[in-house]
Amino acid sequence: MSVSSAFNDEKGGSSSVGEPEYGHDPASGGIFSSDYKRHDDLKEMLDSNKDSLKLEAMKRIVAMIARGKNASDLFPAVVKNVACKNIEDPNQLIRASALRVLSSIRVTIIVPIMMLAIKEAASDMSPYVRKTAAHAIPKLYSLDPEQKDQLIEVIEKLLADKTTLVAGSVVMAFEEVCPERIDLIHKNYRKLCNLLIDVEEWGQVVIINMLTRYARTQFLNPNINESLLEEGSGGEKAFYGSDDDEDEDEEEKEKKAEAMAMAKRKPYVMDPDHRLLLRNTKPLLQSRNAAVVMAVAQLYFHLAPKAEVGVIAKALVRLLRSHSEVQYVVLQNVATMTIKRRGMFEPYLKSFYIRSTDPTQIKVLKLEVLTNLANETNISTILREFQTYIKSMDKDFVAATIQAIGRCATNIGEVRDTCLNGLVQLLSNRDELVVAESVVVIKKLLQMQPEKHSDIIKHMAKLTDNIQVPMARASILWLIGEYCEHVPKIAPDVLRKMAKSFTNEEDIVKLQIINLAAKLYLTNSKQTKLLTQYVLNLAKYDQNYDIRDRARFIRQLIVPTEKSGALSKYAKKLFLALKPAPVLESPFKDRDHFQLGSLSHLLNAKAGGYQELPDWPEAAPDPSVRNVEVPEWTKCSSREKRREKKVEKPFYSDSEGESGPTESADSESDSASGSESGSGSGEESGSGSASEESEEGSDSEEEEEEMEKDNKKKTKIEFKKQTIAPSSTVKSYELLHRITGEGLSVEYCFSRQPFSSDANMVAVQMQFTNNSTSETKSLHMEDVKLQSGMRVKEFAEIESLPAGESATAVMGIDFCDSTQAANFQLCTHTRKFFVSIQPPVGELMQPVFLTENEFKKEQGQLMGMNEITEKLTLDIKCRNEHAIVQRVTTTANLSRVPCGSDKEFAGRTVTSGSLVLVTVVTKDEGATQLTVNCEKMVIGTMLVKDILLALTQ
C-alpha cells in the first residue's frame, strides 16, 4: 500500500476531479482568488489519481507563488506528491533519500505522511532503506512526541531485523524514543550479542552502551560475594570514627555474619547470557576505533567479575598512542578506574610517564593516574619522576605536581616527612607560583601533625616578606593563627607586620589578618591587644562589606561589652576549636556513578539525554524472557541445515537483494541459537556458533543417511504436500506482440511449479510463436537488467523456430520477494527486442500445507502491524464457497487449509520463506471480511488489493 494511496484512503478516497469553473481559479486572479475555500479545488486535484490533474495543480500553485499569493496550506499535499513517487522508486538509494528528506522537514502538519512513510520503509526489502527508517524515527519523535506509541511498534519490528546494517540504527532509535522499554530487548538480546562483531563501528558503540544498561537490570552482580566479605571483614575504621562503633548492635553483627555465611554457601554462578555478552564483546578490544574500545572497556568495568576486568588495561594503554583528543577522554576514564581497580594498571606505570611535548591537560591527567597508582612499592620511583616535573616551564603543570606530592604524602604515611621536607625546599624557589602552591600544600600536611613541625611553621612565617601570591600569604597567616601556641614569639611580630600593610593587601589576606588578630587576642592579649584594635579599626572602614562585617562580628565576640550577647563567653571555643585535617582526595573519586565513556562522566555533570546506570538487582529476573521460540514451519532436518551451511555466503551483504536469502538463513540460525541458549547448558549456551552446529551435523551424518532411506516414502509424500499447485487456471501475459516483434509473438505465464535448479526462483513458462513466413533462428536472452539482489536462470537457446510453429521454454527468476520487473533483451539472429516480466504479488509465493490449529497458531504470531483487514460486499455470483476459493487461489499461489471454519489459505514467499496467511469470513447479505497476515508488510498490502479486486469485479 503506497503512501499516496494510504493518504487518499485517509481522506475517504478521491475520484477524478473536473476542471474548476472559469473565474474560480485561485491562480487566475478571479473574484474568489483571495480565499476560494482555502484552495479546496487544488487540494482535490493533488489528491487525484490522475497525473494530468496533479500536473495542472502544480502549475497553478507555481503561478500563485510567482504572484506572491500565500500557498502554505497546500504544502502537505505538494510534499506528498513530490516525496511519495520517490519513496516508491525502484532504486533503494532514491527511496532512502526521499525518506531522509521527508523526515528532515520540520513541519508538524506533515506528521501523518511522515509516519506512513516510516512504516512503509520499515518493511522495505532493502536493509539500507530500513536503516534510513530507523534514523527517521527520532526525527519524527522530536517533532511530535505524541507519536511515541506508533513509533515504538515500528522500533519493535525493526529490532527483530536480522541484518547488521539495521541493528545499530534501530538501537539508537530505541535509546532516543523509549529507553525505558527494556522489555523490547529481551527477545533480541542474543541476536544483538551475536551480530555485534559485524555491525559498523558507530552501531557497535550504541549497542554496547545499551546492553550495559540492560545487563545491569537483568543479571546479578558478579562481585556480590566479594563485596559482602569486604563489608564483613570490617577493614580500617573511618578516620573520624568514634569509639561507639565498638558497641555495635548485636543484630547488625548477626546480619553481617549471616550474609557472609550465605555468600560462602551459595557461590555465584554467572548467567549464560551474561557470559555471552562478555565473550562477544572481548574481541572488540582490538578494534581500530577508539570509541569501540572505550565502550567495551566501560562495559567490562561495570559488568565483569573483578578477576576479568584486567583485560581492558592493555587496550586502553594502546589508545594512549593516539591523538591528544583521544588520550584526554581515555585518561579521564582511566583516572576513574584507577581509584577502584588500581591493580590492573600497575604493570603499565611507565606508560603514564609524562612527555615534555604533551599538552597541559594531558599532563595533569597522567599526573592524576600516577598519583592514584602510588603505593609503598612504587612511591620512590614516582617521587623521583615528580622531581623532574617540578623543573618544567609549564607552571600549571608544576602546580599540579606539587598538589600530587601532597596527596602522595597524605595517602602513604611512610613518605610524609620526605615529601614535607621536599616541599619546604621548594619554598626557596625563585618562582612565586611554585612557592605559593607549596605553601598551600604544606599547610594541609602540617594540619596532620602540627606539634612535630614547629620549625617549618617558623620558616614559613619568615616568608611573609617575600611571598606576594595572595593565596599563599593567606595560608601562612592561617597556619600561624591556628598554631600560634607553637610559635608564641613569632606570631605577634607577624601580626605587627601585617597591620602595617593591611590596607594594601588582597581581600583574602585581610580576612586572615583579622582571624590571626582575633586568635592572638584570645591567647596572648597582653602583647596583641592594641594591634588587634588597630586592625579591627582599619577593617571597620574597608571598602569590602565582607571585611567590614567580619570585623564588626569579631569585635563583639572577643571584646565583651555590656551590649554583648551570651555568645562572647564561647569565643575561645569558636576560634580555637580543633579542626580536622583536610583529606586530599582525587577529583575522580565519586565520578564512577556516571557511566564511563559518557559525556556526563567527562563533564562530571548530568548531560541532557543521559540515562542513569541502574543498580544491580537483588534477585535475578527470569532468564526465560530471552528465549526465542522457533515456529514449527521453520524447523527443517539437520541434513538440510548442513546443506545450507555448505553454501558460501559473502562476509558482508553488498546489495539489498542479497539480504533476502541471507536474512532468512540468519533468522533460522539465530532462532536456533536462542533456543539452545535458553536451556542454560553452561557458559557456551547462547553463542549460536555455526561451526559448533556443523560439527554436530557431521558427527551424525551416517545415522541421518540411514534414517533418510527408511523414511524415503514419507519424505516424498511431505514434499508433494509442500509444492502442489492449486487447481486453478493459470493466467497468461503478453511479453512481445506479433507486430512489435515483426511476426514473433511471445506469451508467458507463472506455471506455479517449483523451478528445478533453484528453489528460490519462480518458474516462468514462455511460449514463442512464429507468425511470419520465414524461419526464426537463435532465440536467446541478452543484456539482463535486474534490481539489486534479483537473479535469473536463462532459458536454453532455441536454435530454430520454423514459420507458423510454436515452442515452449522455461526460465527461473528470483524476484527477491518484490514485484520489481526483470528486464532483458529477447534476441533472434537478426533483431533484439527489449522486454520486461513483472510478477503479480500472488505469484511470489508457493502453497504450504497447514492444519487448522497450525494456521491459528501462526496467525496469532502475526498480529499488529503484520495484519491487514479490509471489509467488502460480495456480488451474488461470488457468494458461494467454490467461487471465493477459485478467485483467491487464481489471484495468489496459496493452498486451502482443510476443515477450516472460515475460508483460510496459506503460503510462503519463494525467496525468504515468510508465511502468508489469508482469511475470508463471509456474513449475511454478502458482507465479507478479508484478512491477510504476513511478516512482509509490503507484500501483505499489495496482496489485499489484488484479492479485493478479484472478489469484487
Q: What is the DSSP letter of 681?
A: -
pLDDT at 787 over 90: no
Task: Lowest mean pLDDT of 69-83, 180-194, 812-826, name the range.
Answer: 69-83
* Per-residue CA distances from 12 to 9, 48, 458, 639, 873 (Å): 5, 12, 95, 53, 17
Contact between 67 and 25 (Cβ < 8 Å): no
- Residue that wins the pLDDT comparison between 590 and 683: 590
Q: What is the pLDDT averaged over residues 633-657? A: 43
CB half-sphere exposure, 203, CA atoms < 13 A:
20
Torsion sign, CA atoms 748, 751, 754, 757? negative
Who has greater pLDDT, 10 or 927? 927
The secondary element (H helix, E strand) that includes residue 440 is helix 432-446
Distance from C-alpha of 253 to C-alpha of 874, rounded to nearest angstrom = 81
Residues 685-721: tens digit of each pLDDT: 343 433 333 344 444 444 445 444 444 434 333 333 3
Measure the N-to-C terminal CA separation of the chain; round to a whole number of Å. 20
Could you tell me if 75 and 109 are in contact, meaning their C-beta atoms sit under 8 angstroms apart? yes
Best CA proximity match to 657, nearest among 138, 207, 217, 91: 91
Does the pLDDT of residue 877 top 60, yes or no? yes
206-217: b or e for each residue (b if 16 or more CB lie within 10 Å)?
bbbbbbbbbbbe
How do residues 255-308 score in pLDDT, each as one tens digit? Answer: 555 555 554 545 678 889 999 999 999 999 999 999 999 999 999 999 998 888
CA distance 826 to 622: 61
Contact (Cβ atoms closer than 8 angstroms) between residue 95 and residue 129: yes
Q: Give bridge partners of residue 930 from the DSSP assignment.
A: 870, 920
What is the pLDDT confidence band of residue 581, given thresholds at 50, 70 and 90? Answer: low
Neighbours of 866 (CB within 10 A): 20
CB atoms within 10 A of CB 181: 12
The predicted-structure confidence for 526-574, as pLDDT tens digits, reads as follows 788 888 888 888 888 888 888 899 888 888 888 766 665 666 677 777 7
657 has pLDDT over 70: no
Q: Give me the mean pLDDT over the 376-403 stretch.
A: 86
How much is the average pLDDT of 388-392? Answer: 85
Q: Return d(Cα 19, Cα 45) in angstroms, integer.
A: 9
Asked if the domains 732-839 and 843-952 are classified in one and the same CATH topology, the answer is: no
For residues 825-848, give the mean pLDDT: 89
Share of the chain above pLDDT 70, in %: 78
Which of 122-136, 381-395, 463-477 is predicted least confidently? 463-477
The predicted structure's pLDDT at residue 681? 37
Three-state DSSP class for residue 870: strand
Q: Which residues of 821-914 form beta strands (DSSP E)?
A: 822-827, 832-837, 845-847, 867-873, 895-896, 903-909
Yes or no: say if 83 and 6 are a contact pair by the CB < 8 Å rule. Answer: no
Q: What are the residue boundaries of the structural domains of the chain, listed by start?
A: 77-222, 386-449, 450-559, 732-839, 843-952
pLDDT band at 832 (very low <50, low <70, confident <90, very high): confident
Helix (H, G, I), strand (E, B) or coil at 191: helix
**What mean pLDDT is predicted for residues 156-183?**
92
Best CA proximity match to 175, nearest among 224, 134, 121, 120: 134
Domain 843-952 architecture: 2-Layer Sandwich (3.30)
Question: How remote is the C-alpha of 870 from its chain's centroid?
Answer: 37
Beta bridge partners of 14: none
Residue 929 has pLDDT above 80, yes or no: yes
Cα(746)–Cα(769) distance, integer angstroms: 6
When mean pLDDT is compared over 179-183, 720-724, 921-925, the highest value belongs to: 179-183
Q: Are 491 and 516 in contact (CB under 8 A)?
A: yes
| DSSP H/E element including 811 | strand 806-814
Q: Give me the CATH topology for the region 77-222.
A: Leucine-rich Repeat Variant (1.25.10)
What is the rounded average pLDDT for all residues in the chain?
78
**What tens digit of pLDDT does each residue of 435-484 get?**
778 887 887 777 777 666 677 777 777 777 777 788 888 888 888 888 78
Q: Which residue has the cell 487464481?
A: 890
pLDDT at 185 over 60: yes
Q: What is the pLDDT of residue 205?
A: 94
| pLDDT (average), residues 930-953 | 88
CATH hierarchy code of domain 732-839: 2.60.40.1150
Q: What is the pLDDT of residue 644?
A: 46
Q: What's residue 473's pLDDT? A: 84
Q: Which of the residue ranges 10-19, 625-634, 748-757 has the most confident prediction, judged by mean pLDDT?
A: 748-757
Does residue 835 have a pLDDT over 80? yes
